[in-house]
């Protein structure tokens, strides 16, 4: 097949890890006789430096015309001035909104070779396989802010409509139906009116459209505890923007490193956006030691969800497992294996593909 893929390296370690994901995708294309056309564009802090805009129009146009978008990371201390007119993260929020990406899917899988890298006991982590659905374009991040004239009082609004809740719950329910048939919805319905609407809508959608599923509700504070005390009890989780942001980062300790976790941001149509869940890690940028596996696994999600190449996606994921089983480790997951750098890890995945 022919496919257009936009690369958004961004800031910090972004260019280093995206380079390895491209290397793996090129190997997939060569092995399976596909043609992938890559276009690299600016986003985030580097885009502010070069254009004054964290999401230049040329970047947005390229993303809209593509089949899939792969992002590295945005942000860093250089652009953290609270008085700045714009911040790198505004580019990420804007591209999600303009592409209509309402669902962020984060697989949280404890890979056999890395059980020892998790800070939790092996008995808790072994066998964890969670699929988390985070609503991406609503909630407090997009509800708007107000401030008093003197700046001493600020309010952020958490907003959700029935339609926004319905579409993410349907997607998560379809995911649950294809797995164990269990869906956990996370809210704060004992305190927040928004969460009571979330719970009511979730119950109606599941009862009317997915009666074969088993639905349970968890309050977000209890869920934060359960993720590190009994994570194997959960399969598919759906929640709002803020709660999903926090819980998915918490869950990253289960596989042993933020550097291992991919994500897919999807809409009703058009290209998906694929990125590791970690940040730009400016403290290690340029040192060649960043873990590219989260980005490589994000590329596998792009193959599966945007390009319809499930077998190729499986091959990439199997190659990552083979490399880890062989004992290779980047610094963040060093657990007695052989330590390698960013490029060497990417090369090893390519070799395993072959």
| Token pair 């639905």: residue | 215
Mean pLDDT by 10 residues, the chain (354 residues): 97 98 98 97 97 97 98 94 86 92 94 86 93 94 91 95 97 96 98 98 98 98 97 97 93 86 93 94 95 97 96 97 94 80 98 94
Q: How far is CA 72 from the centre of its chain?
A: 11
Q: What are phi and psi of 64, to 5 degrees?
A: -65, -30
Q: What are phi and psi of 175, to 5 degrees?
A: -65, -40
Asked if 141 is an active-site residue, the reply is: yes
The span from the CA of 26 to the CA of 5, in Å, is: 11
Contact 260, 238 (CB under 8 A): no
pLDDT value of position 336: 66
Q: What is the CA radius of gyration of the chain?
A: 20
Instruction: Please tell me which residue in 129, 141, 235, 335 is annotated as part of the active site.
Output: 141
Greatest Cα pair distance, the chain, in angstroms, is: 63
- Confidence (pTM): 0.89
Residue 49 tokens, joined: 């430096």
Asked if 85 is an active-site residue, the reply is: no
Beta bridge partners of 338: 328
**Which of 21, 29, 75, 105 shows the shortest CA–CA distance to 292?**
21
Alpha helices in 230-291 (DSSP H): 241-251
Contact 34, 238 (CB under 8 A): no
Q: What domains sit in the chain, N to C, each tagged with a CATH number?
A: 1-104+263-354 (3.40.718.10), 129-253 (3.40.718.10)
pLDDT value of position 85: 84
Asked if 187 is an active-site residue, the reply is: no
Instruction: Please tell me which residue in 67, 245, 274, 332 is annotated as part of the active site.
Output: 245
pLDDT value of position 335: 65
Instruction: Please tell me which residue in 221, 233, 283, 318 is annotated as part of the active site.
Output: 221
Asked if 188 is an active-site residue, the reply is: yes
Instruction: Please tell me which residue in 41, 188, 274, 332 is annotated as part of the active site.
Output: 188
Contacts of 15 (CB under 8 A, 6+ apart): 9, 72
The span from the CA of 285 to the CA of 22, in Å, is: 18
Instruction: Please tell me which residue in 23, 78, 129, 249 is annotated as part of the active site.
Output: 249
Contact 174, 135 (CB under 8 A): no
pLDDT value of position 200: 98
The span from the CA of 241 to the CA of 148, in Å, is: 26
Asked if 245 is an active-site residue, the reply is: yes
The span from the CA of 177 to the CA of 340, in Å, is: 39
Q: What are phi and psi of 31, to 5 degrees?
A: -70, -30
């Amino acid at each position: 097949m022919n496919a257009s893929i936009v690369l958004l390296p961004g800031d910090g370690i972004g260019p280093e890890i995206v380079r390895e994901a491209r290397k793996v995708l090129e190997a997939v294309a060569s092995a399976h006789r596909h043609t992938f056309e890559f276009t690299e564009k600016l986003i985030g802090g580097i885009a502010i430096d070069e254009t004054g805009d964290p999401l230049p129009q040329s970047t947005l146009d390229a993303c809209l015309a593509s089949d899939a978008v792969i992002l590295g990371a945005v942000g860093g201390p250089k652009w953290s001035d609270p008085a700045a007119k714009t911040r790198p993260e505004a580019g990420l929020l804007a591209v999600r909104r303009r592409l209509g990406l309402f669902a962020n899917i984060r697989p949280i899988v404890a890979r056999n070779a890395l059980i020892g890298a998790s800070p939790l006991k092996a008995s808790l982590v072994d066998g964890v396989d969670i699929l988390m659905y985070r609503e991406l374009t609503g909630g407090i991040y997009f509800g708007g802010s107000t401030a008093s004239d003197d700046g001493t009082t600020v309010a952020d609004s958490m907003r959700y409509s029935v339609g926004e809740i319905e579409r993410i719950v349907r997607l998560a329910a379809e995911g649950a139906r294809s797995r164990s048939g269990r869906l956990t919805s996370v809210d704060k319905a004992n305190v927040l009116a928004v969460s009571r609407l979330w719970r009511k809508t979730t119950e109606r959608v599941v009862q009317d459209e997915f009666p074969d599923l088993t639905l349970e509700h968890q309050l977000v504070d209890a869920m934060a505890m359960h993720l590190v005390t009994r994570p194997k009890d959960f399969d598919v989780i759906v929640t709002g923007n803020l709660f999903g942001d926090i819980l998915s980062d918490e869950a990253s300790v289960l596989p042993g490193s933020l550097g291992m976790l991919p994500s897919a941001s999807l809409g009703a149509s058009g290209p998906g956006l694929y990125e590791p869940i970690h940040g730009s890690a400016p403290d290690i940028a340029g040192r060649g030691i960043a873990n590219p596996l989260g980005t490589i696994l994000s590329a596998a999600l792009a193959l599966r969800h945007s390009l319809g190449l499930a077998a190729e996606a499986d091959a990439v994921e199997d190659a990552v497992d083979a490399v880890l089983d062989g004992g290779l480790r980047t610094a963040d997951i060093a657990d007695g294996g052989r330590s390698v750098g960013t490029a060497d890890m990417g090369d090893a995945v390519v070799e395993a593909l072959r």
